[in-house]
Chain A
Amino acid sequence: MPLILSIALTHVRGRLRQSIVSVLGVMLGVGFSIAMAALMQGSQEDFIATLVDAMPHVEVSDEVRDPAPPPAARFYGAVNVIGARPDDDTRGLRNPARLRAMLDSWLPGRMTMTLAGQAVLRYGGRDVAVSLTGVDPASYLRVSTIGDDMRSGSFMELAANLNGIVVGDGVAEKLGARLGDTISASTSSGGVRRLKIVGLYHTGITQADDATAYAMLKTAQVLFARPDVVNRISVKLDDINAARSVAARIERMTGYRATSWQEANESLMEVLVVRNVIMYTVVGAILLVAGFGIFTIVSTIVHEKARDIAILKSLGFGQGDIRRIFLIEGLVIGAAGSVLGSVLGYLITLGLGAVTFEVRTNVEMTSLPLTYSPLHYLIASGFALLSAGIAGYMPARRAAKLNPVEIVRGAS
């Protein structure tokens, strides 16, 4: 064993009880940091997964980010056009086949094209206004979770029946209609169609269950009098983290506004950042306290070992050697605390994982979402070692500067 390490270890051993307390301090800091990081990241990932699962990763809408200048400005060189309103009838994503061809070649995921609009459903004299979405059922199911929410009938029935409609169970209840009943749907563009309910769903989101419905894309295009037009492309990506770049690329290619799930949930993402900042602050505070413990013990040892320092200097140890001895003492305590803390953190995480509890809205038992990541252990141990190093360095520097003459003279 190197000489200065063995000297450092004898010092730590000589103050064993105090050193153990310091090690425990670091251990608790590291352990709780790891468990907290596992829980924080776990819940964050769980939250994002739930959020992202239920929505498209990228959504292309029939808007443009910077509206084109009104024709008046282009043709007459007007500086500012007042009162110009975009023509609602001309809206929509034109030529879906061309758009599909554009995206299909490179898109790392699945997409579906839909046309949505307002419609009124009528049955037995009762009216319910809904947002009616025209879909291609097969591709839509690959992008949406609606398939999991079906309560009766089936979403795929639509494909077999141009005059089929799938509605939320709230809509059916308001209409007083049941599966298999035929209702009528009408739109403001004058389209009227009799449609048969081939499926009912319940998502748990009131707005969806009480005011949405799905029909075949062709049927919707007829009802809205918008042949060969869609107004939304929904994309599910293989890697959700690619959403921003994919959205940007779609926007560049098509000119239509493409929104990533991150952009759509910007304020939520900000909340997550704040949460992480709070977490790292708490972890930092714990490790700071652990650092104080190390600082105290190394300072005590320096004070206690002033004579040894003087004799080591007289024997030919330089300031650097003395500094290293006490720095090592801080790091040894920090390293022991990191190792034990990593074990503790793992055990706490395991313990948290074993906790199950009932959530009122859910019948099954739920457990805490946790993420096991080596990075958490590295970061917590790294911070602990850094704080131990700083805490050891300050008294170590003082030890290196001790004047041996004063100590030797004082002791003789």
Chain B
Amino acid sequence: MTVVAEGEAKAATEPGPAPLIEARRLTRVLPGTVPVTLVRDIDLSIQAGEFVAITGPSGSGKSSLLYLLGLLDLPTSGEVLIEGEPTHLLSERRRAAIRLSTLGFVFQFHFLLPEFTITDNVMIPMRKLGRLPARQMRERARGLLADLGLGDHLEKRPDQLSGGQRQRVAVARALANEPPAILADEPTGSLDSRSSEQVFEILRALVDDHRKTVIAVTHDLDMAARMDRRLHLVDGMLADP
């Protein structure tokens, strides 16, 4: 398989800091009478500050790859390294802790907790981490939401917002603990073009202004073209686009 990405060759030769996320011969097979291979033999490494698109036809394994990179799923063979640390032998608790502090997820569906205000939703990862005093958590959550254009809705609950607004809340929540990496699975998939553009600009700004790493699965080839690097999946394997 070939990985098509600018900068890949450079990263391989230059002994710099460990890649933020690295996959080695990553394979995930669903057991069963007819085993289903979700992804096969994926090798890739993503540096801090990259804006990576994962593209491919429906059913090609894009989501599956993202879940593996985000430690939400365990590979059948191969391994994922986060900041150089192998993760396949870590305890469930330890992997949860890495998700909490190092990775932020955004899904196609926003998955906000319906009973909490959007500010409280954004505060949940902070409270779980418990690094800040309660007052600062609230201030930070409000600040994140205001930055994403939701300053007028801070005390609303998710069902009082539009789809695009909810998705921006989900982005704010993913950013709550200032993780170096954001993993997004079709974050604009359920949004109209105006909202999609807004969310894309936010992700773009995260990379450009805050040196975050963003890995986004997308169907939208125009959008993928505007990202820094594209990984193309066909039948669970990396391929030329």
C-alpha spacing A310/B185, complex, angstroms? 15
Whether A316 lies near B101 (C-beta < 8 A) is yes
Whether A320 lies near B93 (C-beta < 8 A) is yes
C-alpha spacing A3/B124, complex, angstroms? 7
Interface of A is mostly: helix
C-alpha spacing A320/B93, complex, angstroms? 8
- Partner of A313 from the list B72, B112, B115, B189 (CB cut-off 8 Å) is B72
Are A311 and B111 CB-contacts (below 8 A) given A316-B128, A405-B73, A408-B67?
Answer: yes
Whether B93 lies near A318 (C-beta < 8 A) is yes
Within 8 A of B (CB), among A297-324: 307-308, 310-321
Are A10 and B113 CB-contacts (below 8 A) given A315-B100, A316-B100?
Answer: yes
Does any Cβ of B come within 8 Å of A354's Cβ? no
- Which of B17-25, B102-110, B148-156 lies on the face that meets chain A? B102-110
- Partner of A408 from the list B96, B97, B107, B125 (CB cut-off 8 Å) is B107
Closest to B99 in A: A316
CB distance from B238 to the nearest CB of A (A): 20
Contacts of B70 in A (CB 8 A): 314
C-alpha spacing A319/B97, complex, angstroms? 11
Within 8 A of A (CB), among B108-126: 108-109, 111-113, 115-116, 124-125
Whether A10 lies near B186 (C-beta < 8 A) is no
Whether B113 lies near A7 (C-beta < 8 A) is yes
Within 8 A of A (CB), among B82-108: 92-93, 96-101, 103, 105, 107-108
Does any Cβ of B come within 8 Å of A409's Cβ? yes
Contacts of B165 in A (CB 8 A): none
Whether B67 lies near A405 (C-beta < 8 A) is yes
Interface string of A313-355 (1 = CB under 8 A from B): 1111111110000000000000000000000000000000000
CB distance from A367 to the nearest CB of B (A): 50
CB distance from B241 to the nearest CB of A (A): 23
Whether A412 lies near B185 (C-beta < 8 A) is yes
Whether A412 lies near B63 (C-beta < 8 A) is yes
Contacts of A316 in B (CB 8 A): 96-101, 103, 125, 128-129
Interface string of A4-21 (1 = CB under 8 A from B): 000100110110000000
Contacts of A315 in B (CB 8 A): 99-100, 105, 124-125, 128, 173
CB distance from A48 to the nearest CB of B (A): 55
Whether B111 lies near A310 (C-beta < 8 A) is yes
Number of interface residues of B (CB under 8 A): 32
Contacts of B63 in A (CB 8 A): 408-409, 412
Interface string of B22-52 (1 = CB under 8 A from A): 0000000000000000000000000000000
Contacts of B211 in A (CB 8 A): none
Contacts of B185 in A (CB 8 A): 408, 412
Contacts of B108 in A (CB 8 A): 412
Does any Cβ of B come within 8 Å of A96's Cβ? no
Residue of A312, A314, A321 ringed by the most chain B CB atoms within 10 A? A314
Does any Cβ of A come within 8 Å of B140's Cβ? no
Whether B72 lies near A405 (C-beta < 8 A) is yes
Contacts of A3 in B (CB 8 A): 124, 127-128
Does any Cβ of B come within 8 Å of A274's Cβ? no
Are A318 and B101 CB-contacts (below 8 A) given A307-B111, A311-B113, A409-B63?
Answer: no
Contacts of A312 in B (CB 8 A): 124
Does any Cβ of B come within 8 Å of A404's Cβ? yes
Whether B109 lies near A317 (C-beta < 8 A) is no
Does any Cβ of B come within 8 Å of A68's Cβ? no
Whether B92 lies near A318 (C-beta < 8 A) is yes
C-alpha spacing A412/B70, complex, angstroms? 17
C-alpha spacing A317/B112, complex, angstroms? 15
Does any Cβ of B come within 8 Å of A205's Cβ? no
Contacts of B173 in A (CB 8 A): 315
Does any Cβ of B come within 8 Å of A363's Cβ? no
Contacts of A359 in B (CB 8 A): none
- Partner of A10 from the list B107, B112, B115 (CB cut-off 8 Å) is B115
Can you list 6 contacts pairing A with B, beta carbon distance less than 8 Å? A3-B128, A308-B113, A313-B99, A315-B99, A318-B97, A412-B108
Give me the 10 closest cross-chain CB pairs, A-B, nearest first: A316-B100, A318-B96, A10-B115, A311-B111, A316-B99, A3-B127, A318-B93, A412-B108, A314-B105, A405-B73
Q: A311-B112, A313-B99, A408-B63 known; 19 other A-B pairs, CB under 8 Å?
A: A10-B116, A308-B113, A310-B111, A311-B107, A312-B124, A313-B72, A315-B105, A315-B124, A315-B125, A316-B125, A316-B128, A317-B96, A318-B93, A318-B97, A321-B96, A404-B72, A405-B67, A408-B72, A412-B108
